[in-house]
Amino acid sequence: AQTVTQSQPEMSVQEAETVTLSCTYDTSESDYYLFWYKQPPSRQMILVIRQEAYKQQNATENRFSVNFQKAAKSFSLKISDSQLGDAAMYFCAYRRGNQFYFGTGTSLTVIP
């Protein structure tokens, strides 16, 4: 069974600093997709970044980047130059075919 683990229920970061959120997953597959979602207090889940397992290059979207370690089944999210608007719950997700699995989330606080 595929599972997604986020071991940090809560994290905090000073504004303008960098923070890394951890995610590990369990799979026996070689072809799959990984995502990070952000859910601010307004509730809507927003896609932050995605990574295809067959790509070795780490995905980057502006201040957001991932460290994808396929052998270690690790998919961490790095947020650079943190902003107050980055405060939210962050969910890691795995997709294989029609199956999606979400982690338990990390609540990120940004300290002014």
Partner 1 sequence: SAVISQKPSRDICQRGTSLTIQCQVDSQVTMMFWYRQQPGQSLTLIATANQGSEATYESGFVIDKFPISRPNLTFSTLTVSNMSPEDSSIYLCSATRGGRQPQHFGDGTRLSIL
| Distance, CA of 53 to CA of 73 (rounded, Å) | 10
Q: What are phi and psi of 67, to 5 degrees?
A: -115, 100
| Smallest distance, partner 1 to C-beta of residue 46, A | 8
According to CB under 8 A, which one of 7, 47, 61, 109 is a site residue for partner 1?
Answer: 47
- Using alpha carbons, list the distances in angstroms from residue 32 to 28, 54, 107: 10, 8, 25
Contact 102, 93 (CB under 8 A): yes
Q: Does residue number 88 form part of the binding site for partner 1 (CB under 8 A)?
A: no
Contact 73, 24 (CB under 8 A): yes
Q: Does residue number 56 form part of the binding site for partner 1 (CB under 8 A)?
A: no
| Smallest distance, partner 1 to C-beta of residue 61, A | 13
Q: Does residue number 62 form part of the binding site for partner 1 (CB under 8 A)?
A: no
Return residues touching partner 1 (CB under 8 A). Answer: 33, 35, 37, 42-47, 50, 52, 89, 91, 93, 95, 98, 100, 102-105, 107
